[in-house]
Structure 1
Amino acid sequence: MRWTLPNILTIIRLLAAPGVAIMFLYFSRPFADWLALCLFVGAAITDWFDGHLARSWKQETKLGAMLDPIADKAMVLIALMVIVGYSSMSPWLVLPATVIAFREVFVSGLREFLGDTAGTLKVTALAKWKTTVQMIAIAVLFAQGVFEHYFGMSVIGMDATLIDAILAGREEDILGLWWKYEGMVWTGYLGLGLLWIAAGLTLITGWDYLQKSLPYLKETR
């Protein structure tokens, strides 16, 4: 194994994936949300740097080629698990998350089955866009969790009538409820919209990989 900088960045990203979930085990919210968001964004940035550096410095290795897609999938799946686990289990969130998780497991299974011929399932440009949109969507949804928690803490002890009056501007907004609420709503909409786009790209790329693998799945007589 060659311990190049790109490989080290990939390993850091791989270790950061479970770290996102661990943040919620040992830290209270919203501190855990902030740590998970920063850890996820930092790890996502290394996804671009390690590949770029490996190509620029001609340091592409078998270790990096193996770990890079594993790190990407681990980041996405663990982060989605955390987000769904701390959500209200809305079908608008659970459905695209399920599609993404199913596709990642399915394509990984195809690659494992094809073995030496898995080169036919090379990562396409559209698949790279899919991963990028997934990571942006997840980062936005983590941010939505931050706004949601701050808003929830600010309205403790208030009744619905008072909250509505403050948000409507009829009462003084001493605690900044309006910007916390707006941040919660709009990051929620944006994150869900991007996640659905990612799910659509996930289905397209998954179908493309299946089509490419069909010739190798035929029974020989």
Structure 2
Amino acid sequence: MWTLPNLLTLSRIVAVPLLIGFLWWPSWAAGYGIAFVLYCLMGITDYFDGYLARAQGAVSKLGIFLDPIADKIMVAAVVLMLVATRDIAGWSLVAGMIILLREIAVSGLREFLAQLQVSVPVSKLAKWKTTLQLVSLGGLILAGALPHWHWVQTVSLAALWGAAVLTLVTGWDYLRVGLKHMD
């Protein structure tokens, strides 16, 4: 249970309040810089927990359960914080809402299907969606650290919209599978 992959996953969850703390003051560029480094470390642990679990034959039920939760907690907390600091504002709020709503809906759907003993594997497109979400949010954090580099925020917001589109597509894919198992 307390394997290195599971500890890496737990470290991402534990690091979220620290990450949010560094993002708390939008005019503190150094805080955003520290948050960006922490966010990148959290992303690296996301890669390595799965890699190590498979390489060491240490895939566990706890890890399978916690990994997507850690991702969702991190994404939701960062989206909410970037909305609060107005780094995500205007029409881009819609992209943030799409991402949050889909994550909640798919989590509920997975829970429902688990009761029916139906497993829904993560698709390659869903992995790309997660990657684009993480890159776009990381870019928005970096934009706060480099406020004079306006292009970083522009590119990151475009990536956020790309992630929102993939979020809708993959959400629909999961819903289609789920509907087959509903009365």
Common fold, TM-score beyond 0.5?
Answer: yes
TM-score range, shorter chain: over 0.9
Give the match for residue 9 of structure 1. Answer: 8
* CA apart distance, 1:89: 5.7
Query: Alpha carbons of 1:69 and 1:198: their partners in 2 closer, same or farther (altered >3 Å)?
Result: same
> 2:102, 2:169 → 1: CA distance?
10
For each residue in 1:12-45, what CA deviation from the matched residue of structure 2 results, as whole angstroms up to 9, or x when unmatched?
0111223221224589712321221111111011
The one of 152, 155, 158 equivalent to 1:190 is 155
Alignment coverage as a number of residue pairs? 183
For each residue in 1:67-106, what CA deviation from the matched residue of structure 2 results, as whole angstroms up to 9, or x when unmatched?
0000000111101111111116632321100000000011
Which of the two has higher C-alpha Rg?
1
Instruction: Look up the equivalent residue of 2:69 and give its one-letter code.
Output: I
TM-score by length of 1: 0.77
Are the counterparts in 1 of residues 83 and 93 from structure 2 also a CA contact under 8 Å? Answer: yes
Structure 1 stretch 135-144 or stretch 20-29: which is displaced more? 20-29
Are the counterparts in 1 of residues 132 and 160 from structure 2 also a CA contact under 8 Å? Answer: yes
Query: Alpha carbons of 1:142 and 1:25: their partners in 2 closer, same or farther (altered >3 Å)?
Result: closer
* SS of match in other structure, 2:180: helix
* 1:70 maps to 2:69: yes
For each residue in 1:163-203, what CA deviation from the matched residue of structure 2 results, as whole angstroms up to 9, or x when unmatched?
xxxxxxxxxxxxxxxxx3xx1x1101110111011001100
Give the match for residue 29 of structure 2. Answer: 30
> 1:93, 1:119 → 2: CA distance?
35
> 1:5, 1:41 → 2: CA distance?
19
* CA apart distance, 1:122: 1.6
* SS of match in other structure, 1:216: coil
For each residue in 1:117-175, what CA deviation from the matched residue of structure 2 results, as whole angstroms up to 9, or x when unmatched?
36432211111111111111011101111122xxxxxxxxxxxxxxxxxxxxxxxxxxx
TM-score by length of 2: 0.93
Q: Which structure 2 residue ranges, 5 or more long, are not aligned?
A: none
Fraction of identical pairs, as percent: 40
> 2:140, 2:25 → 1: CA distance?
20
